Structure 1
Amino acid sequence: MEDTQGTIAMRDYCADELPLELGLEEEEEDNDNDDDGDGENNGASEEEDEQEYGFRFQGEMNPLAFVEEHDAAGLQPYERFEQVQYHYEALAAKKHNTPASPHYYSRETPAKRLRQEEIHGASFEEIMEAMNYGMRRKSKKTKKKGRRKGSKKKINSELTRKLGDATLHYAHGRYEEAISDLNEVILLAPNLSDPYHTLGLIYNEMGDKKRALNFYMIAAHLTPKDASLWKLLVTWSIELDNKRQANYCLSKAITADPEDINLQFHRASIYVELGEYHKAAESYEQISRLCPDNIEVLKTATQLYQKCGQHERAIYILEDYLTNHVNDADLSMVDLLASVHMEGKAHDKALEHIKHAQQVYCAEKDIPLHLLIKSGICHAHLRQTEKAETIFSVLQQENACTHPHLIIEVADSLMTVEQYESALKYYTMLDGDGNKYNGYLHLKIAKCYVSLRKRVQAIEYFYRAIHQLDDSVDARLTLSSLLLEEGRDDEAISVLSPQMESESALEPTSRISRQWWLNGKIKLKLSQIYKAKGSFEAFVDVIFPVIRETLFLETYQQKVKARKRLSTTVLHERVKVLDDHQTGNVFQGFKPLASAAELSKASRAKRLLRKKATIKEEKKAAALAAGIDWKSDDSDDECPQDLREPPLPVLLKNEEHHHLIIDLCKSLSALQRYWDALQIINLCLKLACNTLSPERKEDLRTLGAQVAYNISDPAHGWDCVRYIVSRHPYSFSAWNCYYKVMSRMDNRYSKHNKFLHNMRVKHKDSVPPIMISAHMFTMISQHQAAAREYLEAYRLMPDSPLINLCVGTSLINLALGLRLQNKHQCMAQGLAFLFNNFRLCDNSQEALYNIARAYHHIGLVSLATTYYEKVLAMPEKDYPIPKLPNENQDPMDYKRPGYCDLRREAAYNLHLIYKKSGAFDLARQVLKDYLTF
């Protein structure tokens, strides 16, 4: 046939339709002298050759490149050969229209399987045309059976001489000369196994075991029936801790030496180590067919099938064994079959098998005790209580120490069927030696007492259990609940709180497993107890760190998930489906069958790897140029491994937890820990995109708005107050909260100005934003703009005392300016609004004082004196200072009586007028009457 460079040939006389990546190496033959041997014998030989393949180097390739450099995709040597075999099996299956191997489809994804089905459905001509198949057409002559002349390639004398020289060099320790000669032999005859084998020996002597293994791997594939070489590769692969490669070599060794049962045992055990329990079970099942008398192998296969969830298969194997051993079955197999049925809740079937064994196998002897007890357990689950008790009666206190596992099994079963009194009877048989069960026996006894509503006895056994259990979280929670029901609150707190000496007494090795007091459930229960007792400070100290840690962890995990960056390992795995196209590589041109989607992913992965490599080289060059030791930083390649489980999982999805967060924030606010409260609220809102309902979100934002105006930097509560007024644009209470927060911030806060403008445009008839804008103009002495805004608010609410007061003061301040032409008219209008405020306030002291202060401000002191005297003649009772809803009372607000009375302010201003006019005696008398105590 015509050689195609960069291909791998598969020897198989039947696989004549191969794509470009796989060439078929037909044996050299003379078409004129096809065969002259016995047809029958050669027919058998041909049939045997059809069932195996061998890989061959083909074309002008350098096979040494395989061991000199690794593929960029990071493939192991055995994985290359697996791909070759996979292609061969796929194409051979296409020809025969049968699956290539028992696991041909099972190891492929559905997408790849569909791809294979598409290929199988194509005709040979379509494949040839699509792939530009360059090989010569197969001869249409009918093949004759018989031995083919000249089919074996003969080694010429020059190669023989070089092999002999290399062997002599190796024997005398001249490894470099031997390697040189062997390399020449490989280049001339790449499909001879001897030079690869000798190179493996040499590199092994030189200590380069990895390269030696690669050469041995090639030699083994060139001589696939050499079982000893495959066994050596198995040993080396295990030494290199490459179990998958060892498994691959074991499969080849089993093919070469199917009589060696130890190889199959070894492969099954490696499957178990790799966690591939289904394959391990199948392997043990195959071994059981070769060794039908080996009961342990059959048991292992059954247990592995159970482990991977195939209970029906496990039952089938055991029942098949009992069918084939009617008279001499092993009772341990009956015991195992009964256990499998009992695990599947089929107690009636388990009981049938035990009764059958008792009648057939134990007709002349007593049935083993463990089988008898199993029958009693089946009766108990079938609600046949009397029969079960009769069977269990063989277990007495005297033989409790002899069969403790049977007693525990009986008690557990009775507890499962809710026969707690009976279960308690068997548990207490072992109570004398309860300490050797590490607290679990006492825990089961305590649970029985709880079910029987005997709290005092349950508390006693829970105390005995928690001192021995490594993980006593659930036991402590149950014990604390029982103590609370008994009214022993302090004991419940003590059970859930760590002892000070216990933390220091623990060894570092056991610290992780014994720190039960750090569990989120423990903290939650303890906080609930403190809250019920009214100890809010203790409640906050316990639950605040837990909730904050949970929210931080969930926030971090949410960020990690949002990145969606593939690791370098995943990228390398995707690149495996692409052809490497490295010159001189053994597998150049080899391309696995894959779907279009997989090829597209692989191409993107290859580009990303190149980009990463370029960036890495640039960083390295820059660091070296700067004289800095360069260290590779691949931290962004892999997913973080230090993410731990939050103390309170699904915190925001639980209704009870939501109320807990609200209670915590209120408690923090009551303790004046405003920053902590706002931190919890902001974290919850950040995580609440898809988890919290709108009602819960509004509760949190309302609480955040109430907290925001109490912290030193109210900008952190901006989002909360903005949300509140957005939802309630006409609420004075909401706008009061907003303005209280914003009045403590910079007036040029851009977000505030933009938001306020948008609210005014969107809600033109809302008075509060208009008033806030006017106040802001007043604060920067722009009285004309302020008056315009106040008058707009007056147009909407003319009967508001506050608006009339604000309009009056703004007009008076505007009249005192220099640019206004009609100052007297503006002044009169301002005073008119103040008198309107006086009318709306029912002639109150405050309104009189405002009028007096206005006259005093513009210089009309005689009128001011008149109104100040009216204020002095009108006492005023105290009123509580207005507070926002749910606002905490400030201790500074508790002032002395009379803090709402303005007579002192009026007297002081009046004494200033008297003093300025020269009436010092009157000024002194006013101070004496109203400003001395």
Structure 2
Amino acid sequence: MDKFIVQPGTSLDVERSKNLDIELTNKFLNGQMSFAEYSSEWYCDDNKQDIEDDRISDEDTVGSPSTQSSEKVTRRRKVTRLTPALMGLMGEANLRFVRGEKEIAEKMCHEIIKEVPDAAEPYQTLAQIYEDDPEKSLQFSLLAAHLNPSDANEWLRLAAISKQRNDIKQEMICYTQAINADPKNFEIHLKRLELLAKLEESKYPLYNLNINRVRCYHRIVTSLPVTEGATIMKYARLAASMYHESNEVEKTLEVMSSAYAKCSKIFTVEDLNILLELLIAKKEYKTCIEIFVGHVGIDIEAEIQTVKKENNEIEEQTHYLNCTIPNNLPIDLRSKLLVCFIHLGAINLVQTLLHDFLSNDVEKAGDLYMDIEEALSAVGYHELAMQLLEPLVQNTSYDLGAVWLKHAECLYKLGREEDAIESYYKVLKHAPQHPTARKKLFTILEKKGSIDEALNILQQDYKYVVNARLLYEQCIVLKKYGKLLKYLEVGEALLSKTFPRYRHQAELKIALRTKGGVELIHNFRVMRGENPFNEDDIHFDEEEEFKFSPEEEWLFFKELLEVAYKHKKYSTMQRLCYGAIMSKALAPHRKNLEFLCFQSCLLNSDYYNAMKFIREITQKNRSPRTWTLLNFVLSAAGEYSQIKFLYRLFDKDTSMVKNLFLGNNFLTSGRYLVALKYFLEYHEQCKEPISALLIAISNLVMAAQRTMDKHHNLIVQGLCYMMIYNELRKCSAESNYNIGRAFHMLNINNLAIEYYEKVLNSDPISKCSQHGIIDLKKEAAYNLILLYKGHSPQMARRYLTKYLVID
């Protein structure tokens, strides 16, 4: 079903508004809402709206930009008049009240309220009827004043009552409404400021009152008549100063424009400077010219030409021909006049006036030189701008980085690149980390073909505040010119903005167990009583807004990993992966990051931390590949104390792979009988060559222990399982080599030699395009050399020269 929309101004809208009035009034009278809440339904930001009304009422407001109306519509109370019949009834009610017939008078008032709920008269009478009940009387008086707000004295009386009751918010509303009723009464403004001062001293939360000091000053400026010029200027200066401190240019211009419209004759040079500066900031150059002509006494000769545009619209263009300036015109105003003419395109006048302006002492007028230069550069008059910059850079007081930067940019625009390079180097002398100067200087040097020098220019000193955007641009350039190791170094520095560096294992555990940002690590350090930042951390420019998008950061991170891998910078790879775990932008890639951390640990031979990752991986993903990785880490790390973890891992796993893991763990830790038990269970179920080989190894290792009994039986069992392994294993070279090793260990050398010889006569195990022929001939030959070298050196040398000589 479509929604039924009520159009404003229709009978339905009026009826709805009337019902809302009755509802709000009843809530107020029943104590369900305070008068402050009740009035806020009618007056949204009332003081701000009345400032706007006062500003619009000023006929001669200068250059003040039109303020957009608030999105939230302010409901304005219109005074409702009673009909003649109801006026007669109202008169009868007042007469009854005078005679003492209060009940009848009250009933009459309520009858009138039923007919016209937003008329003030019945509430005024009810306030008098309830004089013995101060609370009720005040409520009716507030309602009456609200419905007929033009009586300033009544609002002041209600403010005094509210003050006695210590109702600060209601008192402030009453003063504000009194000002609305009589805005030209300066005494009321002062009373509101006095209340505001007391509240500021007691540190009352003024945001609850929707008023502040600067808005009170602004209201005084817009409200007082022209005759109060001195007072207007006093408060205009105060308001302008406060608006300037909070960087509210629009408001500063509004208050100064209002003051100028009313009392321009008493504007001082300082006041004019402020107003003109604000107008220039808002690009109101023609308005500035009008002020110069009307107030400063400058004569300007101009002609207006009518030009027809391409779309057939008619436009009037003003051409300024001549200008006469009083001799006593302050230099500040002269510079602003020049700026206005520059932006208005009066280049002929600018050249004439600039010649006179340059006669001023640079030491005293250097800042004004800069203002004019900025205007000239903005419109493309770089030759004229150089006339101002040359004296500045030659003056020791203005031998500054900002001035040299302007000088360099101007030279570059004029095509004087060699001179521009020298000036840019002067900028870096004063401000070594200046990103703009470095980027511009790089562009010029790259264009000249000085690539190495250009790349060095982009390098920032990490001891000082660093610009992240320049780091990123440096990465792009380094990648472009193939400087990949430097690209990796700078890229790691850039990512350190969001990637932490861990100090100890406790921090790494936090990163692996929780998802958060760098702040989590910093908070942990604070809890430990440590400095949250490292001494050599890179400090980035906080005012800079450069930031990777999540996808850009992920792609950049992967590129750095690829470079680190290709150049075997495994430590860097591991640091990057660890840092990425705590990046908020990379949180969606958490699963991939954990595996990348594991890979980087393996590549960097950090098996201790690799064990942490593989434990998590095997618990989440059970597959032959994860078992292989787990076994590799256990073997490479020499971890023999993981039996509890393995028991938990395989607690509910019915596959026989757990026998291999548990048996191998017990075998490497020296508990051979327990290992043999697990291997035998596995062999009974699977009959695989690996299980037969492990059983044989377990028996033969136990046979080599002095503490074991029945060595002969163990040797026989071990050799039997070796033969079973030989039958199950289809690769003769491998099985023969392992049997030979078994006989070698038992010092049955003749049989060991026989099986090693079989290996030498066997075909290769496999052939690989990448690794070539894979066999065990070198290993078998080496073992034969060990067997022969003590008794037959000639035979040992024969095997050495045939199988172990590198061509």
Instruction: Point out where structure 2 has 5 or more consecutive residues left out of the alignment.
Output: 1-129, 137-152, 179-193, 205-211, 302-322, 502-515, 703-709
Which residue is equivalent to 1:448?
A: 410
CA–CA distance in 1 between the matches of 2:270 and 2:412? 37
Aligned-partner residue type, residue 867 of structure 1: Y
CA–CA distance in 2 between the matches of 1:315 and 1:698? 56
Which residue is equivalent to 1:464?
A: 426
CA–CA distance in 2 between the matches of 1:644 and 1:870? 62
> 1:293 aligns to what SS in structure 2?
helix
Which residue is equivalent to 2:631?
A: 739
The alignment status of 1:413 with 2:413, answered yes or no, reads: no
CA–CA distance in 1 between the matches of 2:725 and 2:799? 30
What pairs up with 1:591-602 in 2 under 5 angstroms? none
Q: Go from structure 1 to structure 2 and tell me whether the alpha carbon gap of 1:450 and 1:561 turns closer, same or farther (over 3 Å shift).
A: farther
Q: Go from structure 1 to structure 2 and tell me whether the alpha carbon gap of 1:547 and 1:49 turns closer, same or farther (over 3 Å shift).
A: closer
Which residue is equivalent to 1:682?
A: 578
> 1:746 aligns to what SS in structure 2?
coil
Give the CA deviation at 1:850: 2.7
Aligned-partner residue type, residue 701 of structure 1: E
Which residue is equivalent to 1:292?
A: 229
* Conserved? CA contact 2:488–2:564, under 8 Å: yes
CA–CA distance in 2 between the matches of 1:398 and 1:676? 60
Give the CA deviation at 1:432: 3.8
In the TM superposition, what whole-angstrom CA distance separates every residue of 1:491-521 from its partner, at most 9, and x where no partner exists? 456656799xxxxxxxxxxxxxx97477767
| Percentage of matched positions with identical amino acids | 15
2:607 to 711, 714, 731: 714
1:394 to 328, 346, 353: 353
CA–CA distance in 1 between the matches of 2:756 and 2:746? 15
* Conserved? CA contact 1:705–1:737, under 8 Å: no
Residues matched between the structures, number: 575
Which residue is equivalent to 1:692?
A: 586
1:930 to 799, 802, 805: 799
* Conserved? CA contact 1:702–1:720, under 8 Å: yes
Which residue is equivalent to 1:505?
A: none
1:433 to 377, 395, 401: 395
* Conserved? CA contact 1:783–1:814, under 8 Å: yes
The alignment status of 1:99 with 2:99, answered yes or no, reads: no
CA–CA distance in 2 between the matches of 1:327 and 1:549? 57
> 1:705 aligns to what SS in structure 2?
helix
1:868 to 756, 775, 783: 756
Which residue is equivalent to 2:738?
A: 850
Q: Go from structure 1 to structure 2 and tell me whether the alpha carbon gap of 1:657 and 1:328 turns closer, same or farther (over 3 Å shift).
A: same
* Conserved? CA contact 1:704–1:720, under 8 Å: yes
CA–CA distance in 2 between the matches of 1:671 and 1:808? 42
Aligned-partner residue type, residue 929 of structure 1: R
The alignment status of 1:831 with 2:734, answered yes or no, reads: no
CA–CA distance in 2 between the matches of 1:15 and 1:748? 90
Q: Go from structure 1 to structure 2 and tell me whether the alpha carbon gap of 1:657 and 1:417 turns closer, same or farther (over 3 Å shift).
A: farther
Aligned-partner residue type, residue 166 of structure 2: Y
CA–CA distance in 1 between the matches of 2:219 and 2:556? 53
Aligned-partner residue type, residue 717 of structure 1: A
* Conserved? CA contact 2:156–2:175, under 8 Å: no
CA–CA distance in 2 between the matches of 1:791 and 1:807? 9
Q: Return the TM-score normalized by structure 1.
A: 0.47
> 2:430 aligns to what SS in structure 1?
coil
Give the CA deviation at 1:448: 3.4
Aligned-partner residue type, residue 907 of structure 1: L
CA–CA distance in 1 between the matches of 2:523 and 2:132? 48
Q: Go from structure 1 to structure 2 and tell me whether the alpha carbon gap of 1:870 and 1:49 turns closer, same or farther (over 3 Å shift).
A: closer
The alignment status of 1:301 with 2:239, answered yes or no, reads: yes
Which residue is equivalent to 1:479?
A: 441
Which residue is equivalent to 2:694?
A: 810
Aligned-partner residue type, residue 580 of structure 2: C
CA–CA distance in 1 between the matches of 2:385 and 2:132? 68
Q: Go from structure 1 to structure 2 and tell me whether the alpha carbon gap of 1:757 and 1:375 turns closer, same or farther (over 3 Å shift).
A: farther
CA–CA distance in 2 between the matches of 1:901 and 1:526? 51
Q: Go from structure 1 to structure 2 and tell me whether the alpha carbon gap of 1:443 and 1:656 turns closer, same or farther (over 3 Å shift).
A: farther
Q: Go from structure 1 to structure 2 and tell me whether the alpha carbon gap of 1:870 and 1:643 turns closer, same or farther (over 3 Å shift).
A: closer
CA–CA distance in 1 between the matches of 2:213 and 2:711? 92
Q: Go from structure 1 to structure 2 and tell me whether the alpha carbon gap of 1:358 and 1:730 turns closer, same or farther (over 3 Å shift).
A: same
* Conserved? CA contact 1:285–1:297, under 8 Å: no
Give the CA deviation at 1:806: 1.4
Which residue is equivalent to 2:166?
A: 88
The alignment status of 1:344 with 2:282, answered yes or no, reads: yes
Give the CA deviation at 1:824: 8.8
Q: Go from structure 1 to structure 2 and tell me whether the alpha carbon gap of 1:249 and 1:556 turns closer, same or farther (over 3 Å shift).
A: closer
What pairs up with 1:14-53 in 2 under 5 angstroms? 17=134, 52=160
Aligned-partner residue type, residue 692 of structure 2: G
CA–CA distance in 2 between the matches of 1:333 and 1:558? 52
User: Larger RCO: Structure 1 or Structure 2 (Cα < 8 Å, ≥ 6 residues apart)?
Assistant: 1
CA–CA distance in 1 between the matches of 2:225 and 2:155? 29
* Conserved? CA contact 1:770–1:792, under 8 Å: no
CA–CA distance in 2 between the matches of 1:774 and 1:453? 79
Query: RMSD over aligned Cα, in angstroms?
Result: 6.3
Instruction: Point out where structure 1 has 5 or more consecutive residues left out of the alignment.
Output: 1-12, 20-44, 54-83, 105-230, 232-242, 252-274, 500-513, 566-634, 795-803, 884-896, 913-919
* Conserved? CA contact 2:498–2:518, under 8 Å: no
What pairs up with 1:179-198 in 2 under 5 angstroms? none
* Conserved? CA contact 2:408–2:424, under 8 Å: yes
* Conserved? CA contact 2:697–2:718, under 8 Å: no
Which residue is equivalent to 1:187?
A: none
Which residue is equivalent to 1:56?
A: none
Give the CA deviation at 1:809: 0.6
CA–CA distance in 1 between the matches of 2:645 and 2:769? 27
